[in-house]
């Protein structure tokens, strides 16, 4: 069994930016499950979710030189890339057409898997931290980051002004940032 390597985030970023193969392996080994879980909550078809995850890692690897630690943590940056790609996929014509054509049996299997194969936020302590938020903030974070809603969709669904949604999400994000420190 290979030894688990510990690399600090700044060192990991520096090594990734130098195209260090071991750093790429470390990144994938340590973050792929969490990123796949987020993608799979948005895209329940495992095959499509796996394709999106692969696309996300390619985008992360190709864009690592553009990552700015002053703007946020590496995981948050990767999470946003993965989440945005998953949302973009669900809005694509190809994906929507494929979803219309899937069999009833496949739909039932996907619904069953949602409850068994999704991200396990407890593994990274996310559920505990999000649980400390105000219930309204927790709902918005869940809708936006785990269910793939846009701010406009949240505003429409909950009959709130878009500005209110944006303000509350910003507040929730700032409170999460404080809790993670």
The full set of domain ranges for the chain reads 1-119, 120-181
pLDDT value of position 106: 52
CATH architecture classification, 1-119:
Orthogonal Bundle (1.10)
Query: C-alpha distances in angstroms, 109 versus 53, 134, 158?
Result: 21, 34, 30
pLDDT value of position 50: 92
Residues 25 and 18: their CA atoms lie apart, in Å, by: 14
Residues 129 and 132: their CA atoms lie apart, in Å, by: 5
**Do 37 and 118 touch, CB atoms closer than 8 A?**
yes
Task: Tell which CATH classification among 1.10.150.530, 2.70.98.60, 1.10.579.10, 1.10.10.10 matches the domain 120-181.
Answer: 1.10.10.10
pLDDT value of position 125: 61
* Residue pLDDT, tens place only, 110-134: 555 544 444 444 445 666 777 788 8
**Do 87 and 153 touch, CB atoms closer than 8 A?**
no
Query: Within a 10 A sphere around the Cβ of 75, how many other Cβ atoms?
Result: 16
Positions of the chain with pLDDT under 50: 1-3, 103-105, 114-123
**Do 89 and 95 touch, CB atoms closer than 8 A?**
yes
pTM: 0.56
């Amino acid at each position: 069994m290979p030894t688990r390597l510990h690399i600090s985030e700044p060192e990991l970023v520096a090594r990734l930016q130098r195209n260090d193969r071991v750093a790429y392996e470390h990144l994938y080994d340590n973050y792929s499950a969490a990123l796949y879980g987020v993608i799979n909550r948005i895209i329940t078809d495992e095959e499509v979710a796996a394709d999106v995850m692969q696309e996300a890692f390619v985008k992360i690897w190709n864009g690592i030189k553009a990552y700015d630690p002053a703007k946020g943590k590496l995981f948050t940056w990767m999470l946003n890339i993965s989440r945005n790609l998953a949302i973009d996929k669900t809005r694509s014509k190809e994906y929507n057409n494929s979803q219309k054509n899937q069999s009833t049996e496949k739909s039932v299997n996907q619904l069953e898997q949602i409850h068994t194969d999704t991200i396990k936020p407890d593994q990274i302590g996310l559920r505990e931290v999000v649980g400390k938020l105000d219930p309204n903030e927790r709902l918005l974070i869940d809708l936006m980051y785990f269910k793939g809603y846009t701010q406009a969709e949240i505003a429409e669904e909950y009959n709130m002004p878009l500005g209110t949604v944006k303000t509350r999400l910003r507040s929730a994000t700032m409170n999460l940032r404080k809790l993670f420190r």
